[in-house]
Amino acid sequence: MMHMGGKKGIFMGCQRIQTMSSLRSLIRSSLLIAASLAAAQPAQAGLTVSALRGGSAVDLGIVRSGTPVASEEVSLTIDGTAAQYRLRHSTVVALTSESGAYLPAAALTVEVTQAEFARVSFSGMLIVGETPFDLITSDASGTGGTLRLVYTANAEGVAAGTYLGSFSYALESLDGSQVDVETVSVRLVIDPSAVFGRLPGSPAAVRFMEAGHGEALTSEPIQIGWSINSQGSMRIVHEVAQPLINERGEEFPLPAIALSATSAERGAFSSERALEPRLVLVPQESQFSGGGVLELHYRAMVPDAQRAGRYEGLFRVSLENPGVGSEDVPLPVEIVIEPSIKMSVRTTKGAGLSFGNLEGGRPTEMMTVTIVVQNNTGERYAVLEQLSDPLTSEEGRKLPESTMKHAVGLASSGSIAIAGGTPVTTSPQVVYQSGVDGEPVELSLGYQLEASSDDPAGTYQSSLLFSLTAQ
């Protein structure tokens, strides 16, 4: 029993050894199988996103008035894979402001600026919309590298606000299986701003050239456009920043310039108004946003007494909006008045002086001549008179030069230079002398005829001449 038992114990011990050996073999086989499976699977690809300004987010920055374009550079680093892949761009959440306004699709574009290791799927700049699109496709061996993108936002005409959204970058094998996905937040801030300025082709100044006394002159229309990207009150005003002054320091009167303003988009006065230091062209409106065009028409009437010269000044048209401040359009102004001196003569009865019948020794009824002189030169002048010939009858008989005499003279300025009773002769003589500034004048001169009883009967005629001369 003991022997048999001993053999049995040895046998059973061998069995145990064999069993343990088999377990080790199984364990060894399992390890070999696991190692074989790990070698068959390709190395895991990785995608890293880094933005120049935003770090882990795409921060397009702040768009301010005068700089409507913002940009951000994004680097995408891809670890190589053993299989060909593509990188896909998607808009997860469209950029939306706090007021619920969407950023227009055309306002945001993307461009691939570096991708030597892969084929870019588009050329130039591509609009970033809601439809996904491929950025790159790798070579057949799945080579990795760094891809650089530049996002550009053009906020011109876009409502102000803080726009938030998100993009995703999906690394996919060409069979459609997803390898890695990175989602980043996107931010764009558009400050309240206004664009206000002359339209292309519109004159840069208000000019009235070679104006004469009493002439109504118009300048070319000035067109000014505006655009506001935020809600708020606004109005457009016209101001005289510098009065119109000539080289001698003399001022052109504002009421002599009329202005009309028209706008299809907003109510502006279309009838002419005399210019004032400040005029409201478009009245204040609340909760206004958008834009329009304002057209300005200027007309100048040169006063009779206005001195010659080049008058220069400055108008300013301003858009006033509490949210964006004031935007100005300066308009230089120029009025050129040419030097001139003019004289007109009229009588109370017809075109001449008819004294009727003369009786020897008795003076005739007084006849009046009115002379108006318009002078803008600022220089002193005189009015001269003379008879073209002695009073002569049809038969050729002549009356003495003492027959026609001055009776009275009146002048609105300056001085009468001849005394009553002075004969009118065929020689020029000064009858009026202006002041030192050569001011305009309205002059009245009275004349009488007195013949002697010895003068022969007949009808006598001559011409009374008036002329101007500088002093």
> What average pLDDT score do residues 88-115 get?
94
What is the C-alpha separation between 72 and 58, in angstroms, rounded?
7
pTM greater than 0.95 (yes/no):
no
* pLDDT, tens digit, 9 for 90 and up, residues 317-332: 998 876 666 789 999 9
**Exposed, middle or buried, 30 (CB in 10 Å: 0-12/13-18/19+)?**
exposed
Residues of each domain in the chain carrying CATH 2.60.40.2040? 194-337
Which of the four pLDDT bands, split at 50, 70 and 90, describes residue 6?
Answer: very low
Q: Is 460 helix (H, G, I), strand (E, B) or coil?
A: strand
Q: Is 17 helix (H, G, I), strand (E, B) or coil?
A: helix
The closest alpha carbon to 85, from 52, 41, 117, 123, belongs to 117
> What average pLDDT score do residues 111-140 get?
94
116: CB partners within 8 A, 6+ apart: 145
> What average pLDDT score do residues 219-232 get?
86
What is the C-alpha separation between 274 and 276, in angstroms, rounded?
6
| Confidence (pLDDT) at 323 | 66
| Confidence (pLDDT) at 211 | 57
Nearest 10 degrees: CA dihedral of 20, 22, 23, 26? 160
The closest alpha carbon to 144, from 73, 86, 72, belongs to 86
What is the C-alpha separation between 155 and 63, in angstroms, rounded?
7
Integer angstrom CA distances of residue 302 from 69, 108, 202, 215, 253: 48, 55, 25, 6, 9
Q: Which helix (H) or strand (E) segment is 421 a member of?
A: none
> What average pLDDT score do residues 372-386 get?
93
* pLDDT, tens digit, 9 for 90 and up, residues 77-95: 998 777 899 999 999 999 9
* pLDDT, tens digit, 9 for 90 and up, residues 271-288: 789 999 999 988 876 455
Q: What's domain 194-337's superfamily in CATH? A: CFA/I fimbrial subunit E, pilin domain (2.60.40.2040)
* pLDDT, tens digit, 9 for 90 and up, residues 126-185: 999 999 999 999 998 889 999 999 999 998 878 889 999 999 999 999 887 778 999 999
178: CB partners within 8 A, 6+ apart: 170, 171, 172
Instruction: Answer whether 227's CB lies under 8 Å from 327's CB.
Output: no
- Residue 23 clears pLDDT 60, i.e. is over it: no
- Residue 266 clears pLDDT 70, i.e. is over it: no
Q: Which helix (H) or strand (E) segment is 20 a member of?
A: helix 2-40
Residues of each domain in the chain carrying CATH 2.60.40.2910? 47-190
> What average pLDDT score do residues 307-317 get?
94
Residue 336, by phi and psi: left (phi above 0), alpha (psi -120 to 50) or beta?
beta
> What average pLDDT score do residues 98-124 get?
93
Nearest 10 degrees: CA dihedral of 24, 25, 29, 32? 70
Query: Which architecture does CATH list for 47-190?
Result: Sandwich (2.60)
Query: Which architecture does CATH list for 341-470?
Result: Sandwich (2.60)
Q: What are the beta bridge partners of residue 404?
A: 449
According to DSSP, the β-strands at 441-449 and 404-411 are antiparallel
